[in-house]
Amino acid sequence: MTLTDLANPTKFLALTARILPGLAGVTVILLAIGLYQSAMAPDDYQQGATVKIMFIHVPNAWLSMFVWGVMSVAALGTLVWRHPLADVAAKAAAPIGAAFTFLALVTGSLWGRPMWGTYWEWDARLTSVLILFLMYLGLMALWRAVEDPSRAARAAAVLTLVGAINIPIIKFSVDWWNTLHQPASVFRAGGPTLDKAFLWPLLVMAIAFSLLFITLHLAAMRNEILRRRVRSLQMMQASRVSFTSETGGGSQATASNEIGAA
Amino acid sequence: MRLSGRNLKCVRGGREVFSGLDLSATSGEALAITGPNGAGKTSLLRVLAGLLVPAEGVVALEGGDAELSLPEQAHYLGHRDALKPALSVAENLSFWREFLGGETKDAGRCLAAVALDHAAHLPAAYLSAGQRRRLSIARLLSVRRPVWLLDEPTSALDAAGQALFVDLMRDHLAGGGLIVAATHLPLGIDARDLRMGGAA
Amino acid sequence: MSALGALIRRDIRIALRVGGGALIGVLFFLTVTVLMPFAVGPDLALLSRLGPAILWLGALLASLLTLDRLFTADHDDGSLDLIVMSRTPLELACAAKALAHWIAAGLPLIIATPVLGLLLNLDGTATLAVAATLLAGTPALTFTGMIGAALAVTLHRGGLLLAVLVLPLSIPVLIFGVAASQAAISGPLPFGTPFSILCALSLASLVIGPFAAAASLRHGLD
């Protein structure tokens, strides 16, 4: 069992080392194209140039939810299949998801400034994103609070799945709360009816940001795997008793094997 | 230097743990407190350390630094290790060195003396129970205090660790220190025995 | 003095490392503040009127909750015994611990205030006023809360008992903190009057807190 456990992360490291540079390159190119197209897109007759914030806001908002989906799948992997990479994936995704959510909030409030006259309006959509952001931060705090990653993993997995079930309920409640207090959201103006001139750059940006997430996520997973290896090497080093040669030699041999495998 | 306690009585939670207890120890001497569980060995050490106030009696240290009280001239090695898992081994030791103050010795040499120098930069969370105990012992070495109050000092230590600690205690006694230790196991050094348990 | 410096550095380090609770306090502050509009409604005019009060309540609860571990952690691992025995006066050691706690858990709350002010539709002056009052007032919260933390550790009870003990003590700070913020925003009182009283409360607690905490630690250890 230990063999397959070790083999998977090792294979993963080898595989990602090969594909990451290419993936990063494609991401950069797509981002450049997307940004250029966004800059070239015509101004909206109502919103003027501010509509272009949408090209960054929408992909971030979409990813903020998508990343939670990824973490939920990983959480299932941790709880049901006990896949060794699952909790690595979940842990690595949380800060990235939080960053996308934060960008969605910032761009949303920058967009809101000329629309509403304030940086923040308790608009239903933005408020839902803010709550999602808080949940990401809570999850990261949970990961940080427990030193042993495998113990933290199960707690985080449960919280992620509970969050996945709760997010639609929260979204519904916030919508209801919001309509109770004020008429239809301003955000809907830019909603479903999109001109082709806007649709293309948005699509390219969405793909570029998704690739950006995949690139960052794979890199973060690599870091996390390596971080865990360092941790287990350190624990081995700590248990090495320096003045008794037999035990010291034994654990040193295991340690060098481990490095060889990495 | 002479540590003495006269007619000590300790009451905890309404129960009398011991009473009418006299003890004394002089420089270069070790006092081993033995007795069954619940006889009040730990309570006696905590009374000596100033952490418990005796219901009756007085504790005094003659011939020490007149400016300092007994607890300020004593090391207390309790059941708990006073280590922070989030800090590294070296950080833990150097904190106590700086905080306890007085005459200090090089931290690296003290870690080497308890065979923990290979782990100096590692988080204390990674240490085993025996290694945690060794790190606490390094605290006794790095800051000079004439009186050592030890509560089951050799528990959790392996044979090599116990031998090492016996040497360190010998050095301390030879340097004019005095030791009061509560213990089940033989200390491994010449010690006067103080049997507790009959009193309560 | 190097002993106190070492204690402050150690406590800040632990608070910022894995398992330390410094940033959870900020997260709690953020969450409590975000909850308020759901209770009172998203009316921006109303929120900006209630803003200083909401921020002060949030900061009060956040600094109280993080105080729980101030002495408990040191008590559980035996460090507190050594601190009590040491040559450093216990009052100064308590003050150093509280100062470290304020730097690690109190200052981040003040840094987070402008962001939260944005959410509550506070303008620049109002945000600045709230941040200034928090800067002057949170030391009082930490140093009076420390008394409760010391009592809780000697009684082996934490959490809610601490809150019940400390919350009444923090009422004056709350009154003058919110009053000073409101004075800066809308008047009619001059800002200086309640703000000076707030500073005085902080200074008084700097003196009373360490002595009371040290006294209860000294008599309560077993």
pLDDT digits (tens, 9 = 90+) for C76-96: 888 999 999 988 899 999 999
Considering the domain boundaries, does residue B24 fall inside one? yes
Distance (Å, whole) CA C82 – CA C88: 10
Chain C residues with CB under 8 Å of a chain A CB are 18-19, 21, 23-24, 27, 30-31, 34, 37-38, 41-44, 47, 118-119, 121
> Any chain A CB within 8 A of the CB of B162?
no
User: Which pLDDT score, from 0 to 100, does residue B155 have?
Assistant: 83
**Average pLDDT, stretch C196-210?**
93
Across the interface, of C19, C27, C41, the residue whose CB is closest to A137 is C27
Which residues in chain C are contacts of B86 at CB distance < 8 A? 13-14, 17-20
User: Which pLDDT score, from 0 to 100, does residue A239 have?
Assistant: 80
Three-state DSSP class for residue A220:
helix
Considering the domain boundaries, does residue A83 fall inside one? yes
User: Which pLDDT score, from 0 to 100, does residue A257 have?
Assistant: 37
- Find chains touching chain B: ≥3 CB pairs under 8 Å: A, C
User: Which pLDDT score, from 0 to 100, does residue C1 have?
Assistant: 66
Q: Report pLDDT digits (tens) over B125-167.
A: 888 888 899 999 999 989 988 999 999 888 888 888 888 888 8
B178-182 and B2-12: which strand pairing? unpaired
B192-195 and B30-34: which strand pairing? parallel
Considering the domain boundaries, does residue A220 fall inside one? yes
Distance (Å, whole) CA A26 – CA C204: 62
User: Which pLDDT score, from 0 to 100, does residue A242 have?
Assistant: 47
Q: Mutate which of B87, B92, B111, B126 to disrupt the A interface (most A C-beta within 10 Å)?
A: B126
Distance (Å, whole) CA A74 – CA A79: 9
User: Which pLDDT score, from 0 to 100, does residue B109 have?
Assistant: 86
User: Which pLDDT score, from 0 to 100, does residue A193 have?
Assistant: 55
Tokens of residue A241, six digits:
């008793």
User: Which pLDDT score, from 0 to 100, does residue C8 have?
Assistant: 93
Q: How far is C221 from chain B (nearest CA, A)?
A: 7
Tokens of residue C213, six digits:
């905490």
DSSP B106: -
Considering the domain boundaries, does residue A184 fall inside one? yes
Q: Report pLDDT digits (tens) over B63-72.
A: 888 788 888 8
B178-182 and B147-151: which strand pairing? parallel
> Any chain B CB within 8 A of the CB of A244?
yes
Q: Report pLDDT digits (tens) over C139-178.
A: 999 999 999 888 888 877 767 788 888 888 889 999 999 9
* First and final C-alpha spacing in chain B: 30
Which helix H or strand E contains B198, and what residues bound it? none
Give the total number of structural domains in chain A: 1
User: Which pLDDT score, from 0 to 100, does residue C19 have?
Assistant: 67
Contact A242 B118 (CB under 8 A): yes
User: Which pLDDT score, from 0 to 100, does residue C143 have?
Assistant: 93
The ranges of chain B with pLDDT < 70 are 198-200
Considering the domain boundaries, does residue A128 fall inside one? yes
CATH number for the domain that contains residue B143: 3.40.50.300
Tokens of residue C210, six digits:
């360490």
Contact B99 C7 (CB under 8 A): yes
User: Which pLDDT score, from 0 to 100, does residue A246 have?
Assistant: 38
Q: Report pLDDT digits (tens) over A179-231.
A: 766 544 444 444 545 666 778 888 888 999 999 999 999 999 999 999 888 88
Q: What share of chain C is helix, strand, coil (3-state, %, to 5)?
A: 85, 0, 15
User: Which residues span the domain enclosing A202?
Assistant: 2-224
User: Where do the DSSP E strands lie in C17-175?
Assistant: none
Three-state DSSP class for residue B39:
coil
Distance (Å, whole) CA A165 – CA A13: 32
Contact B118 A240 (CB under 8 A): yes
User: Which pLDDT score, from 0 to 100, does residue C7 have?
Assistant: 92
Query: What DSSP string describes C14-53?
Result: HHHSTT--HHHHHHHHHHHHHHHHHHH-S-HHHHHHHHHH
- CA nearest neighbour of B76 among B139, B155, B131, B157: B139
ipTM: 0.90
User: Which residues span the domain enclosing B144?
Assistant: 2-195
Strand partners, B6: B58
> What single letter denotes the amino acid at residue C153?
V
Strand partners, B182: B33, B151
Considering the domain boundaries, does residue A233 fall inside one? no
pLDDT in tens, chain A (262 residues): 444 544 478 888 888 888 899 999 999 999 999 888 888 877 766 667 777 888 888 899 889 989 999 999 999 988 888 887 888 889 999 999 999 999 999 998 888 888 777 788 888 888 888 999 999 999 998 888 887 888 888 889 999 999 888 888 888 888 888 776 654 444 444 454 566 677 888 888 899 999 999 999 999 999 999 988 888 888 888 887 544 433 433 333 333 333 333 3
C20-29, C43-52, C150-159: lowest mean pLDDT where?
Answer: C150-159
Considering the domain boundaries, does residue A241 fall inside one? no
Tokens of residue C124, six digits:
């620049």
The overall average pLDDT reported for chain C is: 88
Distance (Å, whole) CA C193 – CA C176: 9
CA distances from A242 to A233, A239, A245, A258, B93 (A): 15, 9, 7, 20, 19
Considering the domain boundaries, does residue B200 fall inside one? no
What's the predicted TM-score (pTM) here?
0.85
Nearest-CA residue of chain A relative to B126?
Answer: A235
Which helix H or strand E contains B33, and what residues bound it? strand B30-34
Considering the domain boundaries, does residue A163 fall inside one? yes
Give the total number of structural domains in chain B: 1
User: Which pLDDT score, from 0 to 100, does residue A2 have?
Assistant: 43
DSSP B186: -
Q: Establish, for the pair of chains B and C, how many residue pairs have beta carbons separated by less than 8 Å.
A: 83
